[in-house]
Amino acid sequence: MNQLIHCINCSTIFLRTPFDRESEYEGERLNSPSEKGIEKDDFQDFLKSHRGHQLENLKIIEDSFVSEKPYSEPMKASYFKATNGRENFVIKKFRERIDEPLKYQLIRGDYSVKCTDLQIQTDAIRKQLDREFNPPLHESQIIAFLQLYQHIVKTLDVNDLERVSEESPYPLEIYYKMDDFSLMYLLRNCRSIFKGKAYSAMEDFIQRHKDEGVLLLKGIYKIEIVERLDSKREVAPPISLEKKRILEKA
Ligand SMILES: [Zn+2]
């Protein structure tokens, strides 16, 4: 279990991993510059630089993890929520450079993940039409179809659509199926674009790709962070608080 330690005076965060604790039990014997030793030093450094400050444990809120880029991307920023029981926080986890360790930033506030756009896969549809239609469709027909599809999708609400269970490597892109009513509307309107055999071929194309192919709709999501305004902090920012305390002690 990881332990998340919050310095209230400095608004900083330290994530203590099981490595830190393990090395603690090994005590002074652990002098080698192994990973454990380095982790332990990090924690000791944290304690040293926050000596006399008010520290508290934060509890990580389960299933609150979101990432803005693919999970395999090392330079991504990701977020999770934590609480001290009275107040909730957002923890931003990020790297400033690829060769630097992860950093944690405390944000007083909350976040939500919102769908900002619902798109059709224009390029993928074009490529698939190219691949499957021989003789090829006229460019004017392709454009008319894409415009029709786009027009229908603009009227849809993402909350009414069925999500496709396939995991996207992009955590903020989620794929949806078109609903049956929109599907019927699409087919009906295709009759004015495609005639005869071309219509039948197009109908087959739509049936083939609506559930798992290029006709899936792509929902684009955004992480929206709302910072809480803390009036007390605005009046007395942490640095001046510190100075005040030092002056009082002197
Ligand atoms: Zn501190």
pLDDT > 80? residue 158: yes
Q: Calculate how far, in angstroms, residue 231's C-alpha sits from the geometric centre of ligand 1.
A: 20
- Per domain, the residue ranges of the chain are 3-112, 116-221
Q: Is 109 helix (H, G, I), strand (E, B) or coil?
A: strand
Instruction: Name which residue leads in pLDDT, 162 or 248.
Output: 162
User: pTM of the prediction?
Assistant: 0.71
Q: Calculate how far, in angstroms, residue 45's C-alpha sits from the geometric centre of ligand 1.
A: 11
Residues 203-238 pLDDT 10s: 999 999 999 889 999 999 999 999 987 655 544 445
Band of pLDDT at residue 74, cut at 50, 70 and 90: confident
Residues 103-131 pLDDT 10s: 899 999 999 999 999 999 999 999 999 99
* Cβ atoms of 79 and 111 closer than 8 Å: yes
Q: Calculate how far, in angstroms, residue 25's C-alpha sits from the geometric centre of ligand 1.
A: 25
Instruction: Name which residue leads in pLDDT, 112 or 245.
Output: 112
Q: Calculate how far, in angstroms, residue 8's C-alpha sits from the geometric centre of ligand 1.
A: 7
Q: Calculate how far, in angstroms, residue 120's C-alpha sits from the geometric centre of ligand 1.
A: 49
In percent, the amount of the chain with pLDDT more than 70 equals 82
Q: Calculate how far, in angstroms, residue 23's C-alpha sits from the geometric centre of ligand 1.
A: 23
Beta strands in the chain (DSSP E): 3-7, 12-16, 55-60, 66-67, 78-83, 88-94, 103-119, 162-163, 173-177, 217-227
Among the listed ranges 38-47, 87-96, 150-159, which one has the minimum average pLDDT value?
Answer: 38-47
Task: Give the pLDDT mean for 2-9.
Answer: 92
Q: Calculate how far, in angstroms, residue 22's C-alpha sits from the geometric centre of ligand 1.
A: 24
Supply the pLDDT for residue 234: 46
Q: Calculate how far, in angstroms, residue 50's C-alpha sits from the geometric centre of ligand 1.
A: 4
Ramachandran region, residue 221 (left: φ > 0; alpha: ψ -120 to 50; beta: rest): beta
pLDDT > 80? residue 8: yes
